[in-house]
Structure 1
Amino acid sequence: MEGREPELRLFDSSEELDSCLADYVYQISESAVNERGSFSLVISGGDMANRLGKLTRPPFLKTVDWSKWHVFWAEENVVPDKRHPDSFYRQAAEAFISKVPIMPTHVVSVRHGVPGESAANGYEFSIRQQVRRRTVPVSPFSDCPRFDLVLLNLGNNCHVASLYPNHPVLEEDSQWVACVSSDASRESVTLTLPVINAAANVAIVASGNDVARSFSHVMMEPKADEPYPAQLVGPKDGKLVWFVDAAAASLFLHGHGTSAT
């Protein structure tokens, strides 16, 4: 991994993880607003929006400066419309965005109802507009956007966002957004590794028994010629923090003879 050494935060339960993750997001948002006057948050699919539920309740609901928040997606399924059950936009809107006063114009989503390549190109254009408006600064090391915080989930095959093992998208170095197929029936749009690694902060959540083997692989196996996607996440001039519950860390902790705290 490039940049600083990642920080590993272990929790006894998923509930404890969620609580500390919400605190972490709040702290970074406050720092970004104080430093630059805005905060850019990139969320993933799955249960990530549900994990931010604590932010929709007191005291955060009143103390967060929601007018300064700008929300983006690390990935989105290519589906007919935003009301589709598999739409990550819908999931985030229902669990999080609709419950806090984020300005609708500050929610930058992937277009639905168009072919995957068109959705990817349109989303990259939208992000570039935000960079031109200086809502999102540019990385000092590339032309990539420097998001304040990217939230990722670790998948059960060591993937993050929609970056899957041995996929050509892992080599992408010019596009900010790409369209990928995880199987013959499903396309998705994803941020590429250069964009993720240009962020100021990246957090990867590993939760549950189903990702225990993946987490152990990522942490304990050396990077091979074809490394796991999660092993390729390492902000060049930022910080990576892992949020891991005891179930996900079980094999890793067994191998190290330690326990969650």
Structure 2
Amino acid sequence: MRQPVTTALALAVLGALAACGPSAQVRNTAGTGASEMYVREHRASGVPNRFGDLKPHEWGRLSPASYPVHGLDAARYQGPIDWQAASRAGIRFAWLKATEGGDMVDPEFAGNVAGARAAGVAVGAYHFYYFCRPAEEQAAWFIENVPRTRGDLPPILDMEWNHLSPTCKLRPPPAQVRASIRTFLRITEAHYGTAPLIYTTPDFYERNDLGSLDGVEFWLRSVSAHPNERYPDERWSFWQYTGTGVVPGVKGGVDLNAFAGSETAWRVWLSQRGQG
């Protein structure tokens, strides 16, 4: 995900990065989203051919294309999404940034949630954790801003270091990080009737020994290798395999994700893990 709250500093950094990126990516950030032709021009080995990638990676035997069910996650940076186009291309699920810390709401959340539902895309919300605010406050803020909707995907707790934050440089000790995770999960599970998943990155996972958390379900980022290589012996349900994906109806690069199982396993998971 790696999409922290927008500040003047963050905007400047992101603007500089965009200016240094491929010209094709910059041109495609205008308009209503990637066309099917643009996607075809950026098809990549190992990525399902209905999508593309602006920065392709050479995958091994277990590539993203090995999995049948794919989705995306997005925030304000993608703007409004053409969900009908994304759905036709094979996007089956989407997690959208809803909140960060205890006072930020993503301005594109409400519109994109409604659009995803209308297109038949299974949709859910994620919270970007802020390490300078108590977990209880952040869980309450998420609950205040994300309605409980029967059948929606379970919430996501996004746990990663925010290197761009100008207001919080805190890096709590691993035991405190894990305690905060448990607190957030406990409060939100009680409200939504289903346990949130944890999204994380290889460095954060290792630094905070997240493998020692019992009974949690993971969504793991791994953009240069299969999760089994980056997170040895860890079980996972979702794999974020690129942050530069190309999808019809979505502007610029977007995070793409694969579900760990078959079509049948996906339907079972959805029926068991949707909000009650």
With the length of structure 1 as denominator, give the TM-score of the two structures: 0.32
With the length of structure 2 as denominator, give the TM-score of the two structures: 0.30
